[in-house]
Amino acid sequence: MIAKMESHCPVGQKDWKAIDKNFKGKIIKDIRDRFVIPPGVEYDNQALKCANKCWRQFKYSLKLIHYKPLEKKLDDMCNNVPHGITSSNWVKLVKYWDSDYGKTMSACGKKARAFQNQIHTSGAKSFANQQADYIVGAVREGNASPGVLNKASEFLGKAKHQWAAPSVGLFKLNSDASCCGDGVTGLGGAVRDGNGDVLVATCLKIQGEMGVDVAEAMATRHLVVIAIDSGFNKLILESDCRLILGMPVIVVGVGHSTYGKASGQKIM
């Protein structure tokens, strides 16, 4: 969502390098204010890398929807400013798309993608998770090489940052929210038991644009209601949103106790 905010990532800039360092500093600050992220420059760079990717995808989606040079005149496209974007930045972006340089860069990108012969995604399971599964399997079978063993020790060192199953008798809730574009927000989450098995999963698409904190709060509330309606009453709420962890969760029409607070979690 930050990548779609004019105050952080103005679309009028032709590439990520052209965005002012003050904007990038603001992006890092806002992300750290809202999410639990370990300290370190490498994590700041990763956050900016993700923002850059989302920003480019956002501009690409705008181009697919609004840039129709064969159907509309340039002035008409410039005057059709999407919601949430300033007129000055929108005109700069449309004129960049319509410039010789912009068309040349677009053609180069299409040509480069046409030459790609390797898949860059691995479906529902990421390459990192596939690598972790391979390492765990090799260690268990006793045929891990020294390099694999070193990797295994790295994973163990990072295990404290990974998802952990709740104690027996408790149920952990993990929720998240995302902006789907065109004024649509997605809410989702899952309830797991002490074995890590998913007992309830939900997703919901709602109309309307909102801030990150509001969307995260709505996703949390939605999952809490689903969990309680499903008969679960000993719940742990886990979130990467600092605001959610620092405030009570109110569920209208559903009775439950006040929550205690744990590290990175809320216990209900």
Range of the domain at 13: 2-114
Q: Are residue 71 and residue 109 in the same domain, yes or no? A: yes
The β-bridge relationship of strands 260-262 and 265-267 is antiparallel
d(CA 261, CA 268): 9
**Mean predicted confidence (pLDDT) in 50-75:** 89
Task: Domain count for the chain, please give it.
Answer: 3
The answer to whether residue 166 sits within a structural domain is no
Mind listing the pLDDT tens digit for each residue in 219-265?
Answer: 888 898 888 888 888 888 887 776 666 555 444 333 333 333 333 45
Rounded to whole angstroms, the Cα distance separating 187 from 74 reads 37
Q: What is the CATH number of the domain that holds 212?
A: 3.30.420.10
| Phi, psi of 2, deg, nearest 5 | -60, -35
Whole-model pTM: value is: 0.47
Length of the chain equals 268
Residue-by-residue DSSP string for 28-78:
HHHHHHHB---SSHHHHHHHHHHHHHHHHHHHHHHHHHH--TTTS-HHHHH
Say whether both 17 and 64 belong to one domain: yes
Q: Is 247 within the bounds of a domain? A: yes
**Do 18 and 97 reside in the same domain of the chain?**
yes
pLDDT reported for residue 154: 66
Q: Note whether residue 132 is domain-resident.
A: yes
- CA triplet 196, 201, 204: central angle to 5 degrees? 150
